[in-house]
Amino acid sequence: MTSPLPAGLRERKKAKTRLAIREQAIRLFEEQGYAATTVDQIAEAAEVSPSTFFRYFPTKEDVILTDDYDPLIVEAIKAQPPGVSPVKALLNGMKSVFLQFSAEEWESERRRQRIYQAVPELRARVMNQTVMAVDMLAAALAERDGGSADDLSYRVVAGAIVGVVVAITPPGSANGFGPEDLGQLEEALNILEANFRLR
């Protein structure tokens, strides 16, 4: 009865169902592989009908693709004062979100990443999301120091930063990105930072 936010019984049940589907899906993906697992199996394991599955997730891919904290990072970046360099702004933004992760959140995230790193079609979708983050980052950087998001300079800086972030998580990284990798992220961004003059 002591639930944090969800007011109605309906909302609570929905959240529960969604969680159950995702958990069972990830479990089955780990056990049998992504392609070998059918939506029917997931639905049965989560004790819902196949049609209900698609009501919660538009496609089978979306079970893995959903990522809740990208917007949080964007907010954290915008909150950085204008004096901070673009690279440091992103680094601080990412750290401020990731450092608040609980052990369970890290573990869950790591499982998610292991799956999509291993499945090309999922990885493609995630990479696309990441590429689209260039737009968000460029806008955030522009807003932060009152410039125009259309300014090519912002896009270049944002592209370079995102490119570096992507570059340090190659397809082969089997264990996913964990707290122990924050160091390499910082190192890579420092290399970039050390060679940037802009702003």
Partner DNA sequence: CCATGTTTTGACAGTAGCTGTCACTTCAGA
Partner DNA sequence: TCTGAAGTGACAGCTACTGTCAAAACATGG
Contact positions vs DNA (CB under 7 A): 8-11, 13-14, 17, 37-40, 47-52, 54-56, 58-61
Distance CA 10, CA 114 (A): 33
Q: Judged by CB under 8 A, does residue 35 bind its own copies? A: no
Least distance to its own copies from the beta carbon of 70, Å? Answer: 16
50, 52, 53, 57: CA torsion to nearest 10: 140
- Which residues lie closer than 8 Å to 164 by C-beta, 6 or more apart? 188, 189, 191, 192
Count CB neighbours of 14 within 10 A: 14
In the shown chain, the binding pattern of residues 103 to 122 toward its own copies, with x for contact by CB under 8 A and - for none, equals -----------------xx-
Alpha helix positions (H), the chain? 9-32, 39-45, 50-56, 62-65, 70-78, 86-98, 103-118, 120-144, 152-167, 182-194
Cβ proximity to DNA, 37 vs 113, nearer residue: 37
Least distance to its own copies from the beta carbon of 185, Å? Answer: 11
Least distance to its own copies from the beta carbon of 41, Å? Answer: 23
Stretch touching its own copies by CB under 8 A, among 46-54, 73-81, 106-114, 153-161: 153-161
Q: Which of 4, 83, 146, 170 binds its own copies (CB under 8 A)?
A: 170
